[in-house]
Amino acid sequence: MTVAFVSLGCPKNLVDSEKMLGLLAEQGIAPTPEPADADVIVINTCGFLEAAKRESLDAIAAAARMKRAGGRTRRIVVAGCLATRMGREILDHVPDVDAIVGVAQRDDIVAAVRGTQIDGEMGRRGDGEKRRSVSMSPRRPVPVSPRRFFPSDTARLRLTPRHYAYLRISEGCNRGCSFCTIPSIRGPLRSKPIGQIVAEARELIADGALELNLIGQDTTSYGSDLGAAAPRLPALLRRLDRLPGVHWLRLLYAYPSDFSDEIIEAIAGSRHVLPYIDLPLQHINDRILGLMRRRVTRARTESLLEKLRARIPGVTLRTTFITGFPGETDAEHRELLRFVEDFGFDMLGVFSYSLEASTAAGRRTDQIPEPVMQARRDELMAAQQQVVHRRNAGLIGETATLLIDRAVGDSLFVGRTVRQAPEVDSVTALRATPGRTLRPGQLLPVRISGYRGYDLVAEPAGECLAETRQLPGDLMPIYQPMGGS
């Protein structure tokens, strides 16, 4: 049996995809990069925002067309966040879908792919052998409880290159932001035990990962659900920093209100935790922050940002903002615009507000028209572009450490410096000097020689510091959308 896998959405979803592929591989179900060659197509969906839902539904529709065309494909399995949010609707409206696997049912993927017939708790495989399962009955998903959590992400079949990986430290969120659907999909905060995280980190390092990107819906709250005596994020960072073979540790999805002095000290005093912090702020105006239920003020945010720059040398600060939140006035937008211009974030993303009917913000009657949101987003991104161009010009001549991600040609490579996280930030183009052999997975010093828009241009400036041997099957191309938006 072969399976084609479409993985959509964020790195947390990607980790789920990698774990499901690992479970399938353990049972002899082989992945294939070509959906037309697959017996089963699995779509691990995103359902966070309206645009993500549309992309997921487009991918499901593309798989359904392939199944109806009469080729090899005989089953379609829909997994992930949209499966949790809309599982019954998907089954009712897309008869070609054979099984639903919500985020809390992730480890039931083998039964879903095989099409195990379920009768109560007893099922039969196609060969007539009985097996016990409570995963799902055909086209009838069991109630999904997002409180269920699988603490182990070991034995994954990774979709990233071998030299970097995502390390999930927690699942779910307790914040209750008024615009966000994550708690209803992923459930409340559940932190992994520190020993489990360390074991997974060791496995990823042994598999060749030089860079571990720490992820969760709310990483700064790590451990707060495990009791007063449980280790928190500073202890976890210090523990991971001591692991043999680790080179880069990058903290993503930090929440501003709980970013303590102890976390700052742990980052500043580490050898391998990068001076890079992903800190989604969403807005800066106090009234809008209150409506968003962010539990933070402008004054507190600015105090934190000042401390981060003062106490972590060379820190890179990445953030995201939401524009067009219901009721946002022109004056409040201009306040955010001036903040972007004045503070000068290293990396910044802007999202137009997405109306989600199940949220408190989605029920407000003062929604902002789409053209207004788009115009505000364009203004914010234009302001950030000027910030980045000035900063990039100031980097010319500096040296940096680069991790090579991929080859573009015989002598041109694309990689990332400490200042650039995978998939979400700009990149650095590197041209090999004559006679120099470079390859993906190498960590080496470079000199910044120019920039093109957001991206940097560099040249080698020293010998390789570390490298991961790439294998022929690395970065399997099996998770690209099959015709989504």
Decide if pLDDT at 388 tops 70. yes
Q: Pick the residue with more confidence: 21 or 143? A: 21
Cα separation, 419 vs 427, in Å, equals: 9
Question: What is the average per-residue pLDDT within 459-481?
Answer: 70
Cα separation, 348 vs 388, in Å, equals: 9
pLDDT in tens, 34-81: 888 899 999 999 887 888 888 999 999 999 999 998 888 899 999 999
Decide if pLDDT at 147 tops 60. no
Strand order in the sheet with 117-119: 117-119, 122-124, 130-132
Decide if pLDDT at 466 tops 50. yes
Decide if pLDDT at 460 tops 70. yes
Decide if pLDDT at 148 tops 70. no
The backbone torsions φ and ψ at residue 31, rounded to the nearest 5 degrees and listed phi first, read -75, 150
Least confidently predicted of 180-189, 296-305, 400-409, 441-450: 180-189
Q: Which of 79, 76, 70 is nearest to 97 (CA)?
A: 76
Question: What is the average per-residue pLDDT within 124-142?
Answer: 38
pLDDT at 395: 95
pLDDT at 477: 44
Q: Pick the residue with more confidence: 481 or 469? A: 469
**At 430, is the secondary structure helix, strand, or coil?**
strand
Question: What is the average per-residue pLDDT within 473-485?
Answer: 43
Cα separation, 186 vs 169, in Å, equals: 14
Cα separation, 56 vs 83, in Å, equals: 10
Q: Pick the residue with more confidence: 482 or 50? A: 50
Arithmetic mean of pLDDT over the chain? 88
DSSP for 151-204, please give it. ----S----S-TTEEEEE-EE------TT--HHHHH-S-EEPPHHHHHHHHHHH
pLDDT at 472: 57
pLDDT in tens, 209-241: 999 999 999 999 999 998 888 899 999 999 999
Q: Pick the residue with more confidence: 475 or 272? A: 272
Decide if pLDDT at 469 tops 80. no
pLDDT in tens, 265-283: 999 999 999 999 999 999 9
Decide if pLDDT at 137 tops 60. no
Question: What is the average per-residue pLDDT within 242-248?
Answer: 95
Decide if pLDDT at 185 tops 90. no
pLDDT in tens, 301-355: 999 999 999 999 999 999 999 999 999 999 999 999 999 999 999 999 999 999 9
Decide if pLDDT at 421 tops 90. yes
pTM over 0.85: yes
Decide if pLDDT at 198 tops 90. yes
Cα separation, 150 vs 160, in Å, equals: 21
Decide if pLDDT at 471 tops 80. no
